[in-house]
Amino acid sequence: MILKFILNTFILTMLTFSLSAEETGSHEHSEGEKGLTKEEIDEGIDHHLQDAHSFHLMTNEETGAHYGFPLPVILWDDGLHMFMSSAFHHGEDLVKSGDKTFMLFHNKIYSINESEPIFISKKRDTTIINKEGKEEEITVTDTIHSYSYSEFEQNFISHEGHLPEEAFIANAKPIDFSITKNVFLIIVIGLILFLMFFFAARSYKKHGYLPSGLGRFLEPIILFVRDNIAKPNIGEKHYKRYMGFLLTVFFFIWIVNLFGLTPIGVNITNNIAVTSALAVMVYLITTFTAKKNYWLHIFWMPGVPVPMKFILAPIELLGTIIKPFSLLIRLYANITAGHIVIMSILAMMMFLSSWIGSSLSFFLAIVLGILELLVAALQAYIFTMLSALYFGSAVDEGDHH
Amino acid sequence: MEIPVMVGAGLVVIGAGIGIGKIGGSAMEAIARQPEATGKIQTAMLIAAALIEGIGFAALFAVG
C-alpha cells in the first residue's frame, strides 16, 4: 500500500517535471531560441566544481538579481586588504582597497591598475639558438591583447564572454587568504563534528556505559573503525595511538562528501589542496612514528641478494611518497568524477529539452545520487583503511616472521 | 597529439576494468566457498580494487 503510494507520487512528480520541461522547451523554440549551449553547460559545470568567494545559489535571469551571501576576502598585496566579496558584485565591479584595485574574474582575483590595461597572454613553445649555438626549446609568453578595464568589462564581464582558448590574464594575482566557500564549510563541518562527538561523549557520562541519542548512532561506526580498520591493519599493540587520526579522517571525509551532495553546491574533497593536506598528514604520521623495522625494509631489504638491496632502496623510498600521493589522487578523482557525471546528466535536461530527455535524466540523476551516497562512505572507508595499512607497516616489528 | 592520448587512456581504463572485474569475481567465488570469511575477503577486495582504481585515474589525468 505504502509502496504503491510512493510509486504513484514518484511517477506523478516525474510527469510534472517532464511536462513543465516540455512546456519551457516548446516555449523557447517558438521564440527561436535554443536551450543552453555546450559552452554554457561546460561553464556551469566548471563553476560548480570550483571554489568561489561567495555562496551563489541562483540568478534570476529576467531581473539579473543574484541570490546568495558573501564571504570575507583577505588578500596580501604589499599590505593586508580585507573586504566582503559582495563589494565585487559578482565580478561586475572593481574594488579599491588602500592604493590597490582588485578585479574578480571567474573566481580568481587579479590586481589591476586602472591606468594600465589588462593583459591577456598565451604560452607558446618555440625553438631558439642558445649561446653555445645549439637549438633549445623554450616556452615564451606572448601578450595577445591588452584591454582597458572598460573594454574588458564590456567584452567579457557584461556579456559573459570567454577568453580565447588557452589564454589567461597575465596581471598579477595577490596572495589570497580569503575565507572561500571551501574554507567556510570546513570550519562549519569542524564545528558540527565537534558538537556531535561532544554530545555523544556527554551521553556516556550521564548513563554510564549505555549510550543514548547521538551516541547510539555513532558508537557502531566508531567500533567499526576500531575493529575492522585499525586493529587488523595496525595490530592490537599500537592501534590506540592512531585511533584519533583515523576516526577524525573517517568522519571528516564522510561528512564533507555528504555535504557535497546537498544543493548548496560545495565540493570540498574535489579541491586537490584539501586532499593533499590530508595525504601530507598521513605521510608525516607514517614517517615520524615509524619503527626501526620500517626503515630497515626501505634501505636494506632483508632476505634479498645484496645487489638487489641497492636497486630496491630508491624504489622503496619513492614508494613512501607515492603511497600518500595515490591516496590524495584517489579521493580527489573519485569525488570530482562523480560530480561531473551527475552534472552532465542533469545538463541533459537542458540540452535535450524534451519530456523523454528530462524524465530520463531526472531518473538517472536520482540513481547516480544514491550511488554517490555509497561512494561518499566508501571513499572515507578506503582512505581510512589505506592510511591504517601504512601506519601498520610503519609500526610492524616483524614478530610474525 | 590528442587522439593517441585518448586511445591510451581508454586502454588503461579497459585494463583497470578487467583488473577490478577479476578481483570482484574471485572475491565472489571465495565468499561462496567460505562464507564465514566474508568480512576479511571484502576488505582485501576493496583494498586491491582501490589500488587499481588509482592507476585508472592516472589515465583520466593524462587526458584532463
How confident is the model over A6-17, as pLDDT tens digits?
Answer: 566 555 555 444
Chain B interface mutation, best of A42, A49, A329, highest count of B Cβ atoms under 10 Å: A329
Which set of grid coordinates corresponds to residue A280? 601530507
B54 touches chain A (CB under 8 A): yes
- Return contacts of B9-14, CB within 8 angstroms, 24+ apart: B9/B59, B9/B60, B9/B62, B9/B63, B10/B59, B12/B55, B12/B56, B12/B58, B12/B59, B12/B62, B13/B56, B13/B59
Answer for the pair A113, A172: CB distance below 8 angstroms, yes or no: no
Q: Which residue has the cell 530527455?
A: A357
pLDDT reading at A28 higher than 50: no
Q: Which of A32-36, A180-184, A307-311, A388-392 has the lowest mean pLDDT?
A: A32-36
Count other C-beta atoms under 10 Å from residue A233's C-beta: 23
Angle at alpha carbon of residue A165, lines to A159 and A168, rounded to 5°: 80
Q: Cβ(A396)–Cβ(A292) under 8 Å?
A: no
Beta bridge partners of A59: A66
* pLDDT of res. A280: 95
Residue A250, pLDDT > 90, answer yes
Instruction: Calculate Rg over the CA atoms of chain A.
Output: 27
Per the structure, the count of domains in chain B is 1
Yes or no: say if A392 and A233 are a contact pair by the CB < 8 Å rule. Answer: yes
The confidence score (pLDDT) of residue A29 equals 40
Q: Which residues does A170 contact at the CB level (< 8 Å), separation at least 6?
A: A119, A120, A121, A141, A143
Higher pLDDT, A161 or A313: A313
pLDDT digits (tens, 9 = 90+) for A143-177: 777 777 777 776 666 666 666 666 777 777 788 88
Position with higher pLDDT, A19 vs A83: A83
Grid cell for residue A186 = 570546513
Chain B residue with minimum CA distance to A334? B57
- Shortest CA gap B54–chain A (Å): 6
Q: How many helices (H) and strands (E) does chain B have?
A: 2, 0
Record: contact A330-B46, CB cut-off 8 A: no
**Range among A33-37, A157-161, B33-37 rated most confident:** B33-37
Q: How is the beta sheet containing A108-112 ordered, strand by strand?
A: A95-97, A100-105, A108-112
Average pLDDT, chain B: 85
d(CA A180, CA A186): 10
Burial A330-359 (b: 16+ CB within 10 A, else e): bbbbbbbbbbbebbbbbbbbbbbbbbebbb
Cell of A13: 512528480
pLDDT of residue A19: 43
B47 to chain A, any CB pair closer than 8 A? The answer is yes
Closest-CA distance of chain A to residue B16, Å = 14
Q: Which residues of A touch B (CB under 8 A)?
A: 228, 232, 326, 329-330, 333-334, 337, 378, 381-382, 385-386, 389
Q: What is the count of residue pairs from A and B with beta carbons less than 8 Å apart?
A: 32
User: What was the ipTM of the complex prediction?
Assistant: 0.74
The one-character DSSP state at A159 is: T
Residue B46 domain-assigned (yes or no): yes
Q: Cβ contacts of residue A232 below 8 Å, gap of 6+?
A: B40, B43
**Would residue B55 count as lying in a domain?**
yes
Share of chain A above pLDDT 70, in %: 85
| φ and ψ of A182, to 5 deg | -65, -45
Residue B49 confidence class, pLDDT cut points 50, 70, 90: confident
Confidence band, pLDDT 50/70/90 cuts, at residue A300:
confident
Whether A130 and A75 have beta carbons less than 8 Å apart is answered as no
| A95-106 pLDDT per residue, tens | 777 777 787 777
pLDDT given at position A258: 92
Record: contact A386-B53, CB cut-off 8 A: no
Hey, how many other C-beta atoms are within 10 angstroms of the C-beta on A399?
A: 8
Select the more confidently predicted residue: B1 or B33. Answer: B33
Q: Looking at A102-106, A124-128, A162-166, A291-295, which range is the least confident one?
A: A162-166
Average pLDDT, chain A: 80
Q: Is the CB of B61 less than 8 angstroms away from the CB of A337?
A: no
pLDDT score at A9: 57
User: On the CB side of A137, how many CA atoms lie within 13 Å of its CA?
Assistant: 3
**Least confident stretch, A35-49, A310-324, A367-381:** A35-49
**Would you say residue B2 lies in a domain?**
no
**Domain membership flag for residue B47:** yes
Residue A264 has pLDDT above 80, yes or no: no
Domain membership of residue B44 (yes or no) is yes
Grid coordinates given for A123: 604560452
Q: What residue numbers bound the domain in which B53 lies?
A: 36-64
Q: In this structure, which amino acid lies at residue A382?
A: I
Does residue B10 sit within a domain?
no
Cβ contact B54–A330 (<8 Å): yes
For an interface test with A, which of B23, B43, B55, B63 has the most A Cβ atoms less than 10 Å from its Cβ? B43
Cell 563534528, located at residue:
A193
Say whether pLDDT at A190 is over 60: yes
- Residue B31 resides in a domain: no
Of A86-100, A212-226, A279-293, minimum mean pLDDT range: A86-100
- Per CB-CB distance under 8 Å, the chain B contacts of A386 are 47, 50
Residue A243 CB neighbour total at 10 angstroms: 17
- Predicted confidence at residue A13, as pLDDT, reads 53
Question: Nearest Cα to A193, choosing from A230, A244, A248, A240?
Answer: A248
Q: What is the pLDDT of residue A12?
A: 52
Residue A281 clears pLDDT 90, i.e. is over it: yes
Q: How far is B20 from chain A (nearest CA, A)?
A: 15
Local structure of A55: helix, strand or coil:
strand
pTM value is 0.79
CB B48 within 8 A of CB B23: yes
Q: Do A334 and B57 touch (CB under 8 A)?
A: yes
A93 pLDDT band (50/70/90 cuts)? confident
pLDDT category of residue A24 using cuts at 50, 70 and 90: very low
The helix/strand/coil state of B15 is: helix
pLDDT digits (tens, 9 = 90+) for A378-390: 999 999 999 999 9
Residue A222 confidence (pLDDT)? 93
Q: Residue A217 pLDDT more than 70?
A: yes
Cell of A385: 583503511
- Inter-chain CB proximity B61 and A389 less than 8 Å: no
DSSP state of A154: I
What is the reported pLDDT for A357?
A: 79
Structure confidence at residue A284 (pLDDT): 95
A132 alpha carbon, distance to own chain's centre: 47
DSSP-assigned beta bridge partners for residue A96: A101
Rounded (5°) CA angle A58-A59-A62: 145
- What angle is formed at CA A246 by the lines to CA A244 and CA A197, rounded to 5 degrees? 55
The residue in chain A having the minimum alpha-carbon distance to the alpha carbon of residue B50 is: A382
Q: Is residue B60 part of a domain?
A: yes
Q: Is residue A53 classed as helix, strand or coil in its secondary structure? A: coil
Taking an 8 Å cut-off on Cβ atoms, the answer to whether B54 and A329 are in contact is yes
Say yes or no: B58 contacts chain A, CB-CB below 8 A: yes
Residue B50 contacts A where some CB pair is shorter than 8 Å: yes
Phi, psi of A343 (to 5 degrees): -65, -40
pLDDT in tens, A315-353: 889 889 988 988 888 898 888 888 888 888 888 877 777
Q: Is the separation of the CB atoms in A118 and A169 below 8 Å?
A: yes
- Please determine, for residue A127, whether its predicted confidence score (pLDDT) is greater than 70: yes
